[in-house]
Amino acid sequence: MQTHYRWLAFIVVVVLATGWMMLPDAYIRIDANGDGDYADPELGDYKNEIEFRLGLDLQGGIRVLLSADVPPDFELLQADMEASMQVIERRVDALGVTEPVVQLSGSNRIIVELPGISDPETAVATIRETGLLEFVDFGGAPLAVGTIIQTDTPKGGAEVEPTDATAQIYHTVMTGANLADAYPIAPNTTAGQRAWSVGMKFKPEGRTIFAQHTAANVGRYLGIVLDGAVISSPSIHEAIDSESSMITGDFTYEEAYQLAIQLRYGALAVPLKVESIEAIGPTLGAVSVDQSVKAGLIGIITVFIFMLVYYRVPGLAASLALGVFTLINLALYRFIPVTLTLPAITGFLIGVGTAVDGNILIFERFKEELRAGRSLQAAFRFGFDRAFPAIRDSNISTILICLILYWFGSQFGASAVRGFAVTLAMGLVINLFTAIIVTRTFLALFINFGREQLEARSWLLGV
Q: pLDDT per residue over 21-70, tens digit each?
A: 999 888 776 655 555 555 554 445 555 678 887 877 777 788 888 898 87
Secondary structure (DSSP) of 356-391: HHHHHHHHHHHHHHHHTT--HHHHHHHHHHHHHHHH
Predicted local distance difference test score (pLDDT) of residue 399: 95
Predicted local distance difference test score (pLDDT) of residue 157: 38
pLDDT of residue 19: 94
Whole-angstrom distance, CA of residue 96 vs CA of residue 336 = 12
User: What is the rounded distance in angstroms from the CA atom of residue 335 to the CA atom of residue 51?
Assistant: 7
Task: Kindly give the parts of the chain with pLDDT less than 70.
Answer: 29-48, 94-99, 118, 128-131, 154-166, 262, 265-267, 269, 283-286, 288, 410-415
d(CA 145, CA 126): 20
Per-residue model confidence (pLDDT) at position 163:
47
Q: What's the rounded Cα separation, in Å, for the pair 441 and 242?
A: 57
Direct distance between the N- and C-terminal alpha carbons of the chain, in angstroms, rounded to an integer: 25
Q: 3-class DSSP state for residue 297?
A: helix
Q: In angstroms, what is the C-alpha Rg of the chain?
A: 30
pLDDT of residue 423: 94
Q: Give the model's pLDDT for residue 343.
A: 87
Q: Residue 172: how many CB atoms within 10 A of its CB?
A: 19
Q: Which domains does the chain have, with CATH numbers?
A: 2-26+284-461 (1.20.1640.10), 61-127 (3.30.70.3400), 131-267 (3.30.1360.200)
Burial of 286 (0-12, 13-18, 19+ CB in 10 A): exposed
